[in-house]
Amino acid sequence: MTIKQDTTDIIAVAEKFIQSYVAVLTTASFKNSSERAAKMATYYLPAVVSLVNGSITEISGPSDFEKIIRAALDRLGDLPEVAGYKVDAVSENSAIIWLSLSTKGMEMSNVYFFRRMEDGARGFEGGIFDGEVWLLSQLGKL
């Protein structure tokens, strides 16, 4: 037996969340990658699990998120363009978000696990971040 859940709200919340995230990622208003990374780090919950190249890594804290994001932005150099995104609900409090970005004639995608917690916090709980790894290896920057 499965429990029927209304996922309308989580889809709307997750779509608004990813739209805000990509606005931060693609806007030219930040002076440097450190400022951009600091803002992007606020989109993650206090601890996340990252899956890259088959490795599972737990990352804790905004300062760690900021360092990882800044390093990827610095290696990439140019800001990516958003090629599209897709949101699928898993339950009334969680969703999976596919984000596709393009830069330097290549398209990459990442999968983010979005969660709305009981205490009202919401954000990325983790994800498969192979897109950056693949892109940086293609550009010879990894």
Strands 122-128 and 106-116: antiparallel
Residue 1 lies in a domain: no
- Helices marked H in 1-142: 8-26, 33-41, 62-76, 130-138
**Could you list the pLDDT tens digit for every one of the 142 residues in the chain?**
455 788 999 999 999 999 999 999 999 899 999 999 999 999 998 888 877 777 777 888 778 888 888 988 888 888 889 999 999 999 999 999 999 988 888 888 888 999 998 888 899 987 766 666 667 777 776 5
Residue numbers of the domain that contains 58: 8-138
Q: For Cα atoms 59, 89, 111, give the angle at the middle one, nearest 5 degrees.
A: 40
pTM for this model (two decimals): 0.84
Contacts 24+ apart (CB under 8 A), 55-64: 62/38
Q: 117: domain CATH number?
A: 3.10.450.50
Residue 32 lies in a domain: yes
